[in-house]
Structure 1
Amino acid sequence: MTTVIPLHAWADRLESMCDSQLGPLHTVRVLAEVETTQDLARLSGVGTLVTTGRQTAGRGQRGNKWADTGDEGLAFSVCLPSTTRPEQSLLLAKALVGALEPLLPGRIEVKPPNDLLLDGLKLAGVLVEQSRGLAVIGIGINVGQQAWPEELQGQAISLAEAGIQLDRLEVLERVLPAVVEAWSAD
Structure 2
Amino acid sequence: MIGWRIQRVAATGSTNDDVKNAAEAGESEGLVITAREQTSGRGRQGRVWHSPEGNLYASVLLRPRIPVSEWPTYSFVVALSIYDAVQKALPSAPITLKWPNDVLVDGKKISGILIETVEGGLVVGIGINILHFPAEALYPCTSLAAEGNQQVTISAVLDDLLIALDRWHMVRQTQGFEVVRNDWLAHAKQGILKVKLPGQETPIEGLMNGLDEQGNLILRMDNEQDRLISTGDVLGFL
Scaled by the length of structure 1, what TM-score is found?
0.78
Structure (1 or 2) with the larger CA radius of gyration: 2
Equivalent residues of 2:85, 2:157 under 8 A apart = no
Matched, 1:49 2:32: yes
How many residue pairs get aligned? The number is 161
What SS does the aligned partner of 2:142 have? coil
Aligned match of 2:91: 104
Question: 1:60 — aligned with what?
Answer: 43
1:52-91 alignment runs, 5 A limit:
52-68=35-51, 70-82=52-64, 83=66, 84=68, 85=70, 86-91=72-77
Instruction: Give the structure 1 partner of residue 2 of structure 2.
Output: 24
Counterpart of 2:144 (choices 146, 156, 159) is: 159
Q: 1:141 aligns with which of 124, 128, 146?
A: 128
Matched, 1:132 2:119: yes
Q: 80-89 or 166-175: which moved more?
A: 80-89
Partner deviation per Cα, 1:120-149 (whole Å, 9 max, x = no partner): 11100122112310211110000012xx55
8 Å contact kept, 1:93–1:116: yes
Alpha-carbon contact 2:93-2:106 (below 8 Å) kept: no
Q: CA RMSD in A?
A: 2.1
One-letter amino acid of the structure 1 residue matched with residue 8 of structure 2: V
Q: Give unpaired runs (5+ residues) of structure 1.
A: 1-22
Distance, in Å, in 1 between the alignment partners of 2:43 and 2:138 is 18
Deviations 1:52-110 (A, max 9, x none): 11111111111112121x21111001111044335210221022212322423351111
In structure 2, what is the Cα distance between the partners aligned to 1:153 and 1:62? Answer: 12
Alignment partner of 2:40: what SS? coil
Q: Given the alignment of the two structures, is residue 168 of structure 1 paired with residue 146 of structure 2, yes or no?
A: no
What's the TM-score, normalizing by structure 2? 0.62
8 Å contact 2:2–2:166 — kept in the other structure?
yes
Residue 153 and residue 26 in structure 1: after superposition, are their counterparts in 2 closer, same or farther (change >3 A)?
Answer: closer
Structure number with the bigger relative contact order (C-alpha 8 A, sep ≥ 6) is: 1
CA distance in 1, matches of 2:138, 2:118: 35
8 Å Cα contact 2:50-2:134 kept in structure 1 = no
Which secondary structure does the structure 1 equivalent of 2:53 belong to? coil
